[in-house]
Chain A
Amino acid sequence: MTQKDDPIIPLYRESFPDFARLVHRMGGTLEQAKDCFHDALLIYLEREKAGKLEIRSSPKAYLLGTARICWLRTLKNEPTIPLPEGLETPDQTDSNEEEREITLLKSLQKSGRKCLELLKAFYYDHCSMKDIAERFGFNGNRSATVQKYKCLEKVREEIKTMESYAK
């Protein structure tokens, strides 16, 4: 897929100017409008991929409604994208925790990009094991399942190693 063929482009083109107008009317900047709109797109796509998108009128209305909520949360200085149940930490606003996670992620992106891509295909794109096997060249569903857990284990062990060095 080239950039020009990205399936999100028509929805972006149709919706962003309306949202930018709203943000501007409420005293916001173009950068703030983009940030919130991109948060809303993330939520929209995440729900769509998980089969949890319940559109009552149109994709544009849904996206604009979500973006509006994100903008109002930004004004109140609240986090815009909640974590799924089970992945929360006791204090999500801790900035040291945030910094630690960013450092860990940078290290993981250097050492295990292929694993991160595989885990993304599984947890975010909700690809079937058959699709994952084809896309990543594994020898069947079972091999893809084993590789998924090996990757998760690898990420987990790297985290434990990095954290023990940091102590």
Chain B
Amino acid sequence: MRSELNQTSLIDRYLFRQLDEEETQVFEAKLLVNEALAEKVAAQRLAHRLIRRHIQAEERHRFETIYRLLITDTTFADQIKKIFA
């Protein structure tokens, strides 16, 4: 992989706490002196948060679809109606 992609992979391992103690110390020392790297780490952390948000939104949509499907089943719909009657 080209060096930029290797760096992306290294940042990932740092964010997911997959580096050992020594590697973490070396990486964090670089973060202190390399502003560009620190910016990349912050952006990559946010990228992961957004990927997670995307996944959660897709899964919630899937669950809502399941609910709408189940509520067309009279047995399930009657159960829910009785609870919230």
Contact = CB atoms under 8 A, between A and B. Distances in A.
Interface of A: 3-4, 6, 8-9, 12-13, 16-17, 20-21, 24, 29-30, 34, 37-38, 41-42, 45, 81, 83-87, 89, 101-102, 104-105, 108-109, 116, 119-120, 123-124, 145-146, 149-150, 152-153, 155-157, 159-160, 163
Contacts of B16: 84, 86
A64 to B, nearest CB: 15
B52 A87 contact: yes
B59 A45 contact: yes
25 contacts: A3-B65, A9-B69, A12-B66, A12-B70, A13-B70, A16-B67, A24-B84, A29-B84, A37-B63, A38-B63, A41-B59, A42-B56, A42-B59, A42-B60, A86-B14, A86-B17, A89-B49, A104-B46, A104-B50, A149-B1, A152-B8, A152-B47, A159-B43, A159-B46, A163-B43
What secondary structure prevails in chain B residues at the interface with A?
helix
Contacts of A105: 50, 53-54, 57
Contacts of B79: 17
